[in-house]
Amino acid sequence: MTSGPIFDDELQDQSFDALTGLVQMRTGLGWGPQGRAALRRAVEARIKALALGGVSAYLGVVRENQAEWTKLIPYLVDGRTAFFGNPAQFEALSLGLVPDLTLRREERRLVLVSAGCSTGEEAYSLAMVARESGLLHKNWRVDIFALDINQEALKTAQAGLYPASALSRLAPSRIQRWFRRSGGRFMVRDELKEMISWGVFNLAGEDPWPWPDLKGQVDVLLIRSVLLGLSPLAGKKATALLAELLGPGGVVLMSPVEGLPYAAKQFEAERWGGVMYWRRTAEKFKANPGHPSRKAQKGLDLASKDQDRPSEPWPLPKGITAELKKSSRFLAQGRPDQAWPHLEAVLDQTAQKGELCPEALGLAVRGHLICGRWAEARDLAERIISLTEDRSWAHLLLSEAWAGEDRLVRARTEWGQAAEIMTRTPNWKNDPYWRLDPVYSQVDPAELVKKRLAAQSAE
């Protein structure tokens, strides 16, 4: 936590608490210790820039001055983004999901949304996928809508002018096709720009959705590293909006450590190789949900085609193990915010090989449990159970999430499931997850299950 003369008396601390409450109310962000520390650093920077006397004075400025609020926002949100930032995700979109969606739509139109688009790289990546799909040459209309809470980031996005370093992940052929040089930088070509509508919007705010005609019409919604930072109340509001926006069979692509715990009835978790996504459910589809179209299958290997086949255990490479151990150390220190990037990197890397890394997902569940985010922990644990082979530790993690919500009957069911898997799987202790989890690596999981079941029986 940042210390200094700005925060050295009780009055300033009270003003900071009031400011934290104001930021939570306006943005929906959930504040743990790390979030409060980041806010303190942001407030210090703005107080010095404005030459104010302290937090109480700054609180008054933020309450009355929208321009200052606009300047504070960039300090509070995670603006990290990149062109094709998750290559496996975009490959699944291009090879499988877009062709699949075209079979589901009577009208020759696709609507793509980038929520939390930051400086625009993800929105332009969607535009490239759409152009390269050839749909526009087949009389399809593809509309892209991009939104973010950060007005300054949106200005960069609309300009479409990027330094050479921002294009480092792009193949030379893509750079040549979709950009033109402008001084020492690169400008996005107009044929991509004209596909995108931009808007300032806060998923957790009170302002109405800027494009009301889109409700129930969106086919693909990309929203990475946005839901993870929201409070439970804001998360419920945001996921309700996502469910309202998506058309039947539409999909949500997120950061792999996120989920949609408050909209489980409206969405189903699916996977394409190592890429996970959520499908908007409905009574009737033009094509079967969760299965690739024939057109999409041509570009997939055998392991990626079978959506219902449980993933097979695979040895963890040394590099992956090292990243997971690093994440585990952060979790043991109570710093899940430091563990998320490493877990995302592992899940993105393994997805490139068509693999799913349950161990990384399990550690992400542990991170949510540490934060007291019971619904998010439950959502990820249930996804591990539904999308991979049965693992006793996944049921134990799910039991912890249910217990955190005081749903002890549900927790007992999961303890029983874990015990049953341990009984019929003699080599269950060989699963590497037991050595990675900062809690289970310190206890005997079998004894833990026995004690919990015995305690429940006694009650």
Q: Hey, what domains does the chain have and what are their CATH numbers? A: 5-76 (1.10.155), 87-305 (3.40.50.150), 318-458 (1.25.40.10)
Lookup: tokens for 351: 């997805």
Q: Are 360 and 255 in contact (CB under 8 A)?
A: no
How many angstroms separate the Cα of 398 from the Cα of each of 92, 229, 377, 417? 28, 21, 7, 10
Residue 285's pLDDT is 39
Residue 320's pLDDT is 92
In the block, tokens 């033109």 appear at 180
pLDDT tens readout for residues 42-77: 888 888 888 888 888 888 888 888 888 888 888 777
Is this structure's pTM higher than 0.85?
Answer: no
Q: What amino acid occupies position 356?
A: L
Which residue positions in the chain have pLDDT lower than 70?
1-12, 30-35, 264, 283-314, 456-459
**CB-CB neighbours of 406 under 10 Å:** 9
**CB-CB neighbours of 364 under 10 Å:** 32
Lookup: tokens for 153: 């980031």
Residue 271's pLDDT is 86
